[in-house]
Amino acid sequence: MNLISTRHRPWVVYAAFTLLSLGVMTSNLRGGGIADRLEVMVLYALAPVYTTVDWILDNSVSLWNNYINLTGVQQENIELKSAVQILREEHLLLEDRAQSAERLEELIERTSSFPVVHRRANVIRRGDTLLNPIILIDMGSNQGIREGMGVASSDGAIGQVVRVGPSISKVLTLHHPDAGIGAMLQKSRVQGVVSGSGKGNCSMRFVSRFDPVTLGEMVVTSGLDGAFPKGIPIGRVSAIERDNNEIFQTLEIITEANLNTLEELIVFFIPELPPFERPAELDGMDVPSDGSDETRESMDRRTGVLE
Amino acid sequence: MKMLQQAIFFILIIVLQFSIFPRLSINYFEPDLLLAVIVLMALHKSPETACAIGFIIGLLQDVNSGVIMGSNAFIWTQLAMMNAMLRNYVFIDSIPVQIVMVGGSSILAGVLYIILHQLAVMQEPMGQFLFLTVCRTLTTALITWPINRIMLRLGLIAELRHA
């Protein structure tokens, strides 16, 4: 039995798919579950294809570079040997300085009490900085990846995990306007948030216009966002936008890491902070936690401050 | 056998579009193979099939990009339906007509993308994006003919269908 006439069927199917896509879009904008689940399902289906293609491409490139294209290797080898000699001497000097720095660090108890664990992941699909600032990595919930984890390359911070499939995850890079990483200037320790500027590069926002900033200064992660440890390089300040009518200045940043050449990444597993422990002297007391004057007064009275 | 060849063709197109092109770093001149496939199929298949293919491939695009999930599915469903309707008014076997249809669809996709993202309050560099759309339209139009020949050979589209 034909419920819809042949003449109207194309329009009904068209309307159904249009409504479905609008539904997915709305669900995604609201941060809803349907779009997220759909995305994870498609990622799950694509994972074997991407992993296989990536393996084939990587091996072809390595075969070409390591066994076929060996022109000038002998000359390069001689140059590298002399460079290694110089670096060895420098290394000995630096090792000694590092040891004394370590001792000092221990002395002033600056070493973090929450060790940061990180794991290596391979890039199986990379986008571009302008339209497609995302990366797919070959690790997912099976390897303990969670949404919000920080991802970096050997050059610097890359972005955060936004969607997790069983064996594949999607990383939103710093170049996306929706990205946001806690950052600070390395020398002046001025803090802000780094996100995509929408022009294919990044900018650091929420920096007071009275804070001193110099061009070329290194921007590193502040470690306050719970995604990255402190001190991972992000990039260098390339321009400063300052408006006398604005409270904040915006710093344009050229990132250290190049999205087009990424192959291996590090995912940071930062342990969550332990829950706040109630002080022993407050045991048995019914203390509201709204921080109002009344609350504070009643707390002071109970703990004997007012008496 | 034909079905297997068609499946391999789709997998190859997806692999080329999502894995190999991004590695080549040809951002501005990256042809949109999937767009060409959708337009060519929409010109030769029924509107229902065209809408379904547009929606599914659009979703694939969404997962592989950092855009709002569903936006490409929406855009490509519209383009598929538009091309499926237009086939009654154009001579679809002519390669220049197909090139114009693919090029026009690419530009329209770019415009719809900008409108959707402006509505969703996403910051997009419009000038740069328009330039990118024009460059990609040219390269996509260029690959229309080889894609058409492959699809004909695989039986994905039929030959000599006059309007």
- pTM: predicted TM-score of the whole model, two decimal places: 0.63
Spatial distance between the Cα atoms of B9 and B151, rounded to a whole number of angstroms: 9
- Flag if A24 and B58 touch (Cβ within 8 Å): no
Within 8 A by CB and 6+ apart from A135, the residues are A123, A125, A126, A127, A151, A158, A159, A170, A171, A173, A259, A262, A265
Return d(Cα A116, Cα A72) in angstroms, integer: 41
What local confidence, expressed as pLDDT, does residue B78 receive?
A: 92
Residue A78 burial (10 A CB sphere; 0-12, 13-18, 19+): exposed
Residue A22's SS3 state is helix
- Whether residue B114 lies within 8 A of chain A, CB to CB, comes out as no
Best A8, A54, A132 residue to mutate vs chain B (most B CBs within 10 Å): A132
Phi and psi dihedrals of A5, rounded to 5? -70, 155
Beta carbons of B64 and A125 less than 8 angstroms apart: yes
Average pLDDT over residues A3-28: 85
Q: Are B104 and B131 in contact (CB under 8 A)?
A: no
Residue B112 clears pLDDT 90, i.e. is over it = no
A14, A137, A258, best to mutate vs chain B, most B CBs in 10 Å: A14
Contacts of A164 in chain B (CB under 8 A): none
Contact B104/A at CB under 8 A: no
Q: B134 in contact with A at a CB cutoff of 8 Å?
A: no
Predicted confidence (pLDDT) per residue in A239-297, tens digit: 988 887 888 888 999 888 877 777 788 898 877 666 666 666 666 665 554 444 554 55
Rounded Cα distance between A212 and B121, Å, is 32
Chain B residues with CB-CB distance to A39 below 8 A? 62-63, 69
Mind listing the pLDDT tens digit for each residue in A190-245?
899 998 877 778 899 898 888 888 888 999 998 888 888 888 889 999 998 888 78
Find chain A residues with C-beta within 8 A of B13's C-beta: none
Tell me, yes or no, if B139 comes closer than 8 A to chain A by beta carbon: no
Q: State the count of interchain CB pairs (< 8 A) between A and B.
A: 131
User: Which ipTM was obtained for this model?
Assistant: 0.85
DSSP 3-state assignment of A144? coil
First vs last Cα of chain B: how many Å apart? 30
